[in-house]
Amino acid sequence: MKGWQEHQLHALQTITCDVQLFEVVVSIVQSLGFDHCSYGLRMPLPVSRPKVVLLTNYPRAWEERYKEKGYVAVDPTVRHGTRSLQPVVWSDAFFASNRDLWEEARSFGLCFGWAQSSRDVNSTMGMLSVSRSGEPISEIELRDKEVQLAWLTQMAHLGMSRILTAKLMPAATVLLTDREIEVLRWAADGKTASEIADILNISERTANFHIANSIIKLHAPNKTAAVVRAGMLGMLG
């Protein structure tokens, strides 16, 4: 396992193009005995409509059908991935809530699959799904390959996040000062600038100065939005 990881690690850490990185992921997935894979990355911002990137080598007809039917809204794999970091193996029981999606996927050769999601410190979520049309995933195969698949999930996420975050979510690269973070934490608790000034033993003008700087750095329209963005990006934890 260690040798297998070291063989793939350099490419996953050094590639600077998301499409090229996905090609490496596909080659690894296929070496593990699967035909297809998809990788989705969802940014935490904007809150109302988070930015999403999806890379897949699924059949084009299936991609179009999936989009046409709006399956992403009812896909149990997506729903599970947003709630849990535990891997899941596709099955009749798992897709019981949406038989139409399951039957159509199988008609395109997406019969047996595995998926796992991941998150990073910026609350960016990724999910890797692999599938094939041939043999079911046996318990023995799962035991042999799940560690590799889990490792690939994490490495793919780190790579995609590294490549795409600065472009899709510039606020994630912002560096707030310790004092700015401290002021925003109190603002997140509903404290006014005057109350924050009393708590931190600074002037109200200084408290407002730190709030204004945070708003500018986070490209936020106001204090509330700055607090939300900082919180979503894990800056206030």
Q: CA–CA separation, 112 vs 105, rounded Å?
A: 10
If pLDDT is split at 50, 70 and 90, which confidence band does 61 have? very high
The larger pLDDT score, comparing residue 47 to residue 209, is at 209
Q: CA–CA separation, 81 vs 76, rounded Å?
A: 8
If pLDDT is split at 50, 70 and 90, which confidence band does 213 have? very high
What Cα–Cα distance (Å) separates residue 184 from each residue in 9, 18, 121, 210, 227?
38, 34, 18, 8, 6
Note the pLDDT of residue 6: 63
Beta strands in 137-210 (DSSP E): none
Mean pLDDT over each residue of the chain, to the nearest integer:
90
If pLDDT is split at 50, 70 and 90, which confidence band does 5 have? low
Note the pLDDT of residue 172: 76
Q: 218, 153, 196, 163: which is closest to 13 by C-alpha? A: 163
CATH 3.40.228.10 fits 174-232, yes or no: no
- Whether 104 shows a pLDDT value over 60: the answer reads yes
Q: Do the Cβ atoms of 225 and 47 come closer than 8 Å?
A: no
The larger pLDDT score, comparing residue 10 to residue 27, is at 27
Give tens-digit pLDDT for 158-206.
Answer: 899 889 888 888 777 788 999 999 999 999 999 999 999 999 999 999 9
Note the pLDDT of residue 202: 94
- Whether 221 shows a pLDDT value over 80: the answer reads yes
The ranges assigned to domains in the chain are: 2-167, 174-232
If pLDDT is split at 50, 70 and 90, which confidence band does 91 have? very high
Reading the block at residue 181, the tokens are 């973070």
Which CATH number applies to 2-167: 3.30.300.30, 3.30.450.80, 3.20.20.140, 2.102.10.10? 3.30.450.80
Q: CA–CA separation, 87 vs 80, rounded Å?
A: 9
pTM for this model (two decimals) = 0.81
If pLDDT is split at 50, 70 and 90, which confidence band does 45 have? confident
Give tens-digit pLDDT for 16-26.
Answer: 899 999 999 99
The larger pLDDT score, comparing residue 78 to residue 8, is at 78
Mean pLDDT of 33-53: 90
